[in-house]
Structure 1
Amino acid sequence: MREIIFDTETTGLDPKTGDRMVEIGCIEMVGRVETGRSYHAYFNPDRDMPPEAERVHGLSAAFLATKPRFAQSADELLAFLGDAPLVAHNAGFDFGFLNNELELAGHAPISLDRMVDTVALARKKHPGAKLSLDALCTRYGIDRSHRVKHGALLDAELLAQVYVELTGGRQIGLGLAPADTAASVSTSDQPATNAPWHRPSAGKPRREPRPHVASPEELERHRAFVAGIQSAIWNN
């Protein structure tokens, strides 16, 4: 299943009072494994940047003034999102800003049915514990030493790792040999037995499975050993 892990940075806390989204970072995952595809963009909010918000993410009004407006990038973003579930930390906040920008740009809002909130997942899995992204990174041993300030793409990358842990752990991405590798092995190379077959390393001959059945001599020695046991409980 394809999923998008995303995070936003904003000018404040409430789009209903005029706050705007100024950055979005998205990470694509398929089967809870990162594919390497991402989407990242800054947006000109056409307003000032409150100092308290700038202290959080470091994005100044001067820096953002050179960036495109959200409406100019909306189609590209929507194409990347597709119809995948959207995973965010405290997702109601990010959905609120994303849908506000979409509506201002003349697009339909994204259905909340697609929302996956990692705060809700963490609260269920770790009741009473700290649920911030930093706290969850610490809990799961995820390195965040390079996170000096909040950044949408960086936080999405960290959240992708946290999400895997919240939904089953890192072993979820492990599996058997890729299908294309298995398909490239001719069935004529396999032994005509029911024993598991392992492709030999290059330059090394394949070895038949080692027999693990006792020989007649070993069975006779075992019978003699058992017969010599005194006061055996199975004779009572």
Structure 2
Amino acid sequence: MRQIVLDTETTGLEWRKGNRVVEIGCVELIERRPTGNHFHHYLNPDREFEQGAQEVTGLTTEFLADKPRFENVVDEFLDYIDGAELIIHNASFDIGFLDNELSLVGASRGRISDRATVTDTLEMARHRYPGQRNSLDALCRRLGVDNAHRQLHGALLDAQLLADVYLAMTSGQSEIGFDALTAEADANQADAAAEALAAQVAASGPRPRVIVSGDERTAHEARLDAIGKKLDDKPVLWRVLAS
């Protein structure tokens, strides 16, 4: 199973307002293990950042001026994600921007859904932790993923963090079969212990019988009568069990 954990950075929040992708970061997982095969590009958006977006990413138009445009890396990107499951936090945001970038290159490139399936970790987190904050930072804290080095948003860094978060959120899935086998083994162990105890009891011979004298029985009944008086003549447990 090939999965690609993906994140983007953009010039603003709305692609419909002309905002563009400025960074793509991807981390590859094969059978839930990071392979080290990353995809990472900064992109020249041919436009300015919206107010606030530059502070979030730490990127500048000057830094991006000599970087490739999306059209220059689109085929490499599509080949990289082809046939994979994309793991994205708040997937509608990233997919909306990437589909827009593909449409600007030309209709022949299609859409992301033509190349890969998408799993939204934000939806997963909302289902698992209803009523709680489910941002990437919040999930890192909740799941024990170290994000102390994350001062700014960066697509590759966030993809690496999201990979750790995703694996932590879904770690139980791969152990379901193992847990079932463990439970079965525990049950078998308990049965074997019970059989061994029964055999031990049987080998020890008949259990001795305790003979109660008449005086002891009378004293026992008197004691139960006294307890019954304190209970306002309600039934005494020992007599209920013996009846």
TM class, shorter-length? 0.7 to 0.9
Deviation sequence 1:53-103 (CA, Å, 0-9, x none): 111010000000010101001111111111112111000000011111111
Answer yes or no: is 1:121 the counterpart of 2:161.
Answer: no
Per the alignment, residue 103 of structure 1 pairs with 103
Unaligned runs of 5+ in 2: 179-198, 211-243
* TM-score after normalising by structure 1: 0.72
Does the residue aligned with 2:112 lie in a helix, a strand or coil?
Answer: coil
Match of 1:161 among 144, 152, 164: 164
Answer yes or no: is 1:68 the counterpart of 2:71.
Answer: no
Aligned partner of 1:132: which letter? Answer: S
Per the alignment, residue 182 of structure 1 pairs with none
Aligned partner of 2:41: which letter? Answer: A
Give the Cα–Cα distance (whole angstroms) in 2 for the partners of residues 50 and 14 of structure 1.
10
- Per residue, is there more helix in 1 or in 2? 2
Give the Cα–Cα distance (whole angstroms) in 2 for the partners of residues 223 and 120 of structure 1.
61
Unaligned runs of 5+ in 1: 177-218, 232-236
Give the Cα–Cα distance (whole angstroms) in 2 for the partners of residues 8 and 58 of structure 1.
13
Per the alignment, residue 136 of structure 1 pairs with 139
Give the Cα–Cα distance (whole angstroms) in 1 for the partners of residues 94 and 208 of structure 2.
75
Deviation sequence 1:170-217 (CA, Å, 0-9, x none): x849x99xxxxxxxxxxxxxxxxxxxxxxxxxxxxxxxxxxxxxxxxx
CA 1:227–1:99: 2 relative to 1, 3 Å: same
Give the Cα–Cα distance (whole angstroms) in 2 for the partners of residues 85 and 103 of structure 1.
21
Identity of aligned residues (%): 49
Greater C-alpha Rg: 2
CA 1:91–1:227: 2 relative to 1, 3 Å: same
Give the Cα–Cα distance (whole angstroms) in 2 for the partners of residues 229 and 168 of structure 1.
54
Give the Cα–Cα distance (whole angstroms) in 2 for the partners of residues 67 and 229 of structure 1.
92
Answer yes or no: is 1:10 the counterpart of 2:13.
Answer: no
Does the residue aligned with 2:150 lie in a helix, a strand or coil?
Answer: coil
Contact between 1:164 and 1:172, CA under 8 Å: does it hold in 2? Answer: no
Give the Cα–Cα distance (whole angstroms) in 2 for the partners of residues 101 and 116 of structure 1.
20
Give the Cα–Cα distance (whole angstroms) in 2 for the partners of residues 59 and 110 of structure 1.
25
Per the alignment, residue 214 of structure 1 pairs with none
Does the residue aligned with 2:47 lie in a helix, a strand or coil?
Answer: coil
The CA RMSD measured in Å over matched residues stands at 2.6
**How far apart are 1:31 and its partner, in Å?**
2.0
Give the Cα–Cα distance (whole angstroms) in 1 for the partners of residues 79 and 208 of structure 2.
77
Give the Cα–Cα distance (whole angstroms) in 2 for the partners of residues 81 and 17 of structure 1.
27
**How far apart are 1:165 and its partner, in Å?**
2.1
**How far apart are 1:228 and its partner, in Å?**
7.8
Q: How does 1:138-153 map to 2 (within 5 A)?
A: 138-153=141-156
Give the Cα–Cα distance (whole angstroms) in 1 for the partners of residues 73 and 138 of structure 2.
33
Give the Cα–Cα distance (whole angstroms) in 2 for the partners of residues 114 and 46 of structure 1.
29
Does the residue aligned with 2:52 lie in a helix, a strand or coil?
Answer: helix
Aligned partner of 1:127: which letter? Answer: P
* TM-score after normalising by structure 2: 0.70
Aligned partner of 1:157: which letter? Answer: Q
Q: How does 1:87-98 map to 2 (within 5 A)?
A: 87-98=87-98
Give the Cα–Cα distance (whole angstroms) in 1 for the partners of residues 140 and 53 of structure 2.
23
**How far apart are 1:230 and its partner, in Å?**
6.3
Does the residue aligned with 1:68 lie in a helix, a strand or coil?
Answer: coil
